[in-house]
Structure 1
Amino acid sequence: MNECELVKKILNHMNAEDYKILINKVWFRGFWVPGIANQRSDKKWRPKVEFINNDVVLNRKIRKGGKHNYELLIEAMIKMAEDRNDETYLLYNVVRWITDPDSHEEIEEYFNQLENKPKDDTKNDSEEIKDTSEKDDVNVQDNLLKKENEKLKAEIDNWKNRGKKYKENIQNLKIKCSNLEQENNRVKKENGRLIRENEKTKQGKDTAVKEYNDRIIALSVENSKLKEKIRGKYKPKKNIVLSKTSGVSNPKVLCVTKNPADVLIKGYNIYFLTDLEELNKKIYTETVFDQIWYIRSGLTHADLIKVAEKYANQKILQARDWKALQKKLQGGDRL
């Protein structure tokens, strides 16, 4: 006989009062009876003894790594026996079984004698438990049925109210659908009108775009000419004079600077570039420059990279300002 079988024999011979105490000790410690776990919240209801006195329930675990139901019952039985402190108490056999392995045969013989007693001598304790449990179960079931009936009535009323609201919503949706259909037809007509107008205007689009591009090109050329005139009319603010040292007659020079009008230059045909966004214009891409000057004042390193990438095959003469450029051109002598 193992521990689970010992628990089964104990349950068969417990009186109703001890059974109630035992179940109360394990009911909220994880003891679980499959199929009636939803009754755990009811503090008065407990399972009848025939519900739990079987191998399926007693060997059940509430979770992985937890204790079996029969182990929870054994712990509760030992606590009850220790509280009673009576060796003749039925549950004291559990204490002896756990603490004294030599007493197993004696305990088995004791339960065999109990089971072989004539049924007429005394009323079976398990029958007392069964009668009490059945009475409790009937009362609990009545209360549960009443509560369930009240819940069902409330739910029926709730669904009736929802039904009314759904009917109103359906009617409102029908009206909205009708309005949307009318609006959709209107949009279709408007869309057709816009398509026809678009086809009419599309015919003259290419001509208009061509005229617009031609106008932009003409304005760009005119703008370049105006810039050239402005450069020619500019009067220097500083008395700095640069003379050419190259043997080329009137060499073409691209001068990248933010201040093109601060110097008087002789002997050079200089093209000033003050806005690097204009670097790709025709005047700068098609002209072959003899020299390229880069005045760093007011410019960034990113600007220098753009110029260097554009004129990768030419040497770029860099200077901090015009005075520094003069020294580089004249070898340090001011002319």
Structure 2
Amino acid sequence: EMARRRATFSLTTKQSPPPPPMATGAPLLGILLALHTKGPLQVIRDTHAEMGSVAFDVDFATRREQFRFFGDAMKPAKLRTYARLMVQEVEDFFAKWGPTGTVDLKQELEHLVTLVASRCLFGEEVRAKMLAEVATHLRELNDGMRLVTILFPHLQIPAHRRRDTARARLDEIFSGIVSSRKTSYPDGGPNDMLQCLIDSRYKDGRATTKTEHGDRVDYEVLQEMETLHRCIKEVLRLHPPAMMLLRHARRSFTVQTKDGDVYEVPEGRTVASPLVIHNRLPHVYRDPERYEPDRFGPIRGEDGAGGAFA
């Protein structure tokens, strides 16, 4: 039967493979009831079971250059300079602890990560003077991303109003910092990612605008912490920061499922990659619901779902 199907396929689709299966229902409205009753995670799971494995505000060319700015700031040579800043933040944080006591470890570590990130990414101005305010506004931005936001991003609901207020205030804060740095440091400012973005230049030469944007502990030692790396990788596999990635097909391409079926994704289509499903596929990850960092070691090597969480 399988041989007959493949023979028929080769005779009737010599020009190109068929398009992948599509979800039924009216555009947008077709899944709203299911989203409301089941929630987005279950809808993604149901759709994946049925169909199989098949948000930016600038144009693609500009976005690609902006990604380059972030890439430059995260290159190994730059990360080496962040290591000492991270260590200093950690040492200062734990120096305030007494010899004994009880803490909410999750809450404390979240605060520590915020301190480290603010120092290396946002700069000393935010870290020293307005960390609490910036952190609050960032939470408001994150909370403003709801299911309804995808369909109606400007709908005047309380979460969206808080999001817009936070966005405006963050713009004021960082615009002031950028202006101050350009005045105070005409030849280069502090060592952090914000300064990297300030110093970045597009291919046409224009600068970024204010609105875009033991004893030996160093980068090499951090790179040698293979166990920590595997643990973080496994956490991101089980709990990805985003349930789904959406990608726009700029040109047609073919895909092949694990069952051997071949489809062509037409140019212009939007392709959804549900990380919550792909990261737990049983034919890729043995016992996928189990937290097992060693699955990414040299023996197991189960990093086969496209590296979406690497």
Q: Fold match, TM over 0.5?
A: no
Higher helix share: 1
In the superposition, the TM-score normalised over structure 2's length comes to 0.18
Higher relative contact order at CA 8 Å, sep ≥6: structure 1 or structure 2?
A: 2
